[in-house]
Amino acid sequence: MHVEIFHASKFGNGEQVAKELQKVLVSRGAEAEVHHIRDVNPKKLPSADLYVFSSPTRIGKPLRGARRFAAKVRLPAETKYAFFATHGAPRPDKRTGRMPTSEEMAKWQRTTSVMEETFDSIGLIKMADMTFYVTGIRGPLEEGWRSKVASFADRILPP
């Protein structure tokens, strides 16, 4: 299986996840390449059996460059893809100490749904999605993120 992975990492967290995913997939016998979206033409993506896209979250949505990239992707209908997003980890309210509810978090974590709508509109088939949390604006990634990458890989290429 050949997998092409495209990330829009701004501070390196998405790139870390993409490279770890590449390592896991290669260890399972797949071929995998990692690219930053600024380095490829979305209308001329390399041929692959599966495409993995990612974006960091800014103000509840994917990075503008990632949205523009996704809107320009030209792949045949029924092409398989997976998606992962990086989000700031939920934190307690500074005044009350209360953690946000799932509904409140969903308001600020729309990256996956926005990108899914874009890819669905061109007929791509989603195989999996996953969210990775960062503990600060620039990272680092949450503890245990590598095991989440392995779990994500299980969903797109079982061991």
Q: How far apart are CA 69 and CA 144, in angstroms?
A: 29
> pLDDT tens digits for the chain (159 residues)?
999 999 999 999 999 999 999 999 999 999 999 999 999 999 999 999 999 999 999 888 999 999 999 999 999 999 999 999 999 988 888 899 999 998 888 887 889 999 999 999 999 999 999 999 999 888 999 999 999 999 999 999 987
- Cα dihedral value 22, 24, 27, 30, nearest 10: -50
Structural domains of the chain sorted by starting position, each given as residue range(s) with its CATH number in brackets: 2-156 (3.40.50.360)
d(CA 61, CA 55): 9
Q: Which residue has the tokens 């061109």?
A: 122
